[in-house]
């Protein structure tokens, strides 16, 4: 991973920073290679803004919260729907923070922790799978991410003149991660045990942080449900009707 950080993240770089395990560990590893500024997107009082501020202070790096309101959210939804061809409300909800960072920050390089959940067993559904099922699911999820979600996010960033860097999706990292026996992905610290052990060794409090999906940690999904309910529609109908 450090090889991709050294090659791809030269100069000042913006980090999509939730304050959770994936982004905090990535930031701690990247800080010796480039000048970082951490950005956390969310509604006032949301989980990610609290976690992001605390983790940024621990890392000793500049941090900037980007507060969302309903108008910003609707603009993001319309863009993702009309310009990116995304109609699924769940997919839209977790792409909103990336869209807002792309639209708001001056840095041309964006650093993301995308891929850590698929590679290191971060999803709750993985915990109930047999070792064989888990190996198959991880491989399938990584492939789906590489050929769908990652390409979409790269295209989204390029639309704003940005370069998206996802070190967890470096091919060497993927190969190494998928070679880890599934039983070693879970342990006393929880899921994503290999990453948590590294973070713990670096003294990061995020080593014990529970997973919080971006759409929930940022408050975006809660706001989307609230706005849809106010219109008397379900999420799909609301997304379709949002004005650009």
Determine what percent of the chain is predicted with pLDDT higher than 90.
86
Determine what percent of the chain is predicted with pLDDT higher than 70.
96
Q: Is the pLDDT of residue 8 over 60?
A: no
Q: Is the pLDDT of residue 7 over 60?
A: no
Residue 33 is predicted with a pLDDT of 85
Superfamily of domain 2-241: HUPs (3.40.50.620)
> Hey, where are the domains in the chain?
2-241
pTM of the predicted structure, to 2 decimals: 0.93
Cα separation of 229 and 235, whole Å? 8
Q: Is 165 helix (H, G, I), strand (E, B) or coil?
A: strand
Residue 164 is predicted with a pLDDT of 95
Q: Is the pLDDT of residue 64 over 90?
A: yes
Cα separation of 12 and 37, whole Å? 7
Least confident of 99-113, 153-167, 209-223: 209-223
């Amino acid at each position: 991973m450090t090889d991709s950080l050294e090659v791809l993240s030269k100069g000042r770089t913006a980090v999509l920073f939730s304050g959770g395990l994936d982004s905090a560990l990535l930031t701690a590893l990247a800080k010796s290679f480039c000048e970082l500024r951490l950005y956390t997107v969310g509604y006032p009082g949301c989980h990610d803004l609290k976690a992001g501020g605390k983790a940024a202070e621990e890392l000793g790096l500049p941090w900037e919260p980007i507060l969302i309101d309903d108008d910003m959210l609707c603009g993001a939804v319309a863009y993702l729907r009309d310009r990116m061809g995304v109609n699924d409300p769940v997919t839209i909800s977790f792409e909103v923070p990336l869209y807002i960072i792309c639209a708001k920050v001056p840095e041309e390089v964006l650093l993301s922790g995308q891929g850590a959940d698929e590679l290191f067993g971060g999803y709750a559904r993985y915990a109930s799978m047999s070792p064989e099922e888990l190996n198959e699911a991880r491989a399938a999820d990584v492939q789906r991410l590489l050929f769908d979600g990652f390409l979409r996010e790269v295209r989204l960033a390029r639309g704003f003149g940005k370069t998206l860097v996802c070190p967890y999706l470096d091919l060497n990292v993927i190969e190494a991660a998928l070679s880890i026996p599934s039983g070693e992905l879970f342990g006393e610290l929880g899921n994503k045990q290999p990453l948590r052990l590294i973070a713990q060794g670096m003294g990061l409090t995020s080593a014990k942080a529970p997973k919080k999906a971006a759409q929930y940690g940022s408050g975006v999904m809660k706001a989307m449900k609230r706005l849809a309910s106010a219109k008397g529609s379900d999420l799909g109908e609301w997304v379709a009707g949002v004005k650009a």
